[in-house]
Amino acid sequence: MRWARRSAWLLGAATLVIAAAGLALMAWDWSTPVPKGYFGIRGFAGLYAVGFGGVGALMTWRRPGHLVGWILAVVGLVEALDFVTFEYGLAGSAGRGLPGSGYAGWVQLWIWVPFVALVAVYLVLLFPDGRVSSPRWRPVSWLACGCAVIAAAGLAFSPGSEGPNLPGLSNPFGVAPAEVPFDAAVAGLAGLVCCAVLAVWSLVARGRR
């Protein structure tokens, strides 16, 4: 339990440090406008990082063996990485001379997939006690993991620009033909949506029981 609590606080501290770095980059490069296709409000990923990471740290401190707390803590870390890589890539696309901005922007192509999988599937599937309601729901967690990996890999290797968030950067790991990674991403995302529906179904069944 002591090791788990220390790991939880280290994870929370890493989340705060990375989110702070993203905030510093945003303040430094605030004059650069976000692309028209950008989804959401600039800086919202940092708020998600602090919110999810803070609640996750508190839960894992009180209940180190509770998987819901760990899921929230990992979601906070993912959102912190989303925040800092977007701001770094945006500054690089504006000609700030930052090294490796294309690789930071590459993370933007797929970083949202684990966020969706953790929140829409695993958090729902394991709520509220951190365990699946019955062994028959375990294949849903395995399928969601496989679909998330396939979707993230398909997006990560799609050639062209780095999505609507950073259209000024090109994917350094894009492969041809483009249809192969695109079809993989579509298949993985479709499977992830099905897993999310099944997770909601399991929560309803748990509530009725």
| pLDDT, tens only, 57-104 | 889 888 888 899 999 999 999 999 999 999 999 998 877 778 888 899
Confirm if 31 and 87 have CB atoms less than 8 A apart. Answer: no
Higher-confidence position of 20 and 40: 20
pLDDT, position 63: 87
- Give pTM, 2 decimals: 0.90
SS3 sequence, 27-39?
HHCCCCCCCCCCC
The tokens describing 14, both together, are 């890493």
Cα 50 from Cα 195, distance rounded (Å): 27
**Cα–Cα dist 31/16, whole Å:** 24
pLDDT number for residue 167: 77
101-124 pLDDT, tens digit per residue, is: 889 989 999 999 999 999 999 999
pLDDT > 70: percent of the chain:
100
- Identify each DSSP E strand in the chain by its residue range: 161-162, 166-170
Q: Is the pLDDT score of 164 beyond 80?
A: no
Tell the burial category of 40 from Cβ atoms under 10 Å away from its Cβ (0-12, 13-18, 19+). exposed
Phi, psi of 171 (to 5 degrees): -70, 120
Lookup result for tokens 């298949």:
187
pLDDT attached to residue 139: 95
For residues 7 and 14, give the distance between their C-alpha atoms in angstroms, rounded to a whole number. Answer: 10
- 177 pLDDT exceeds 90? no
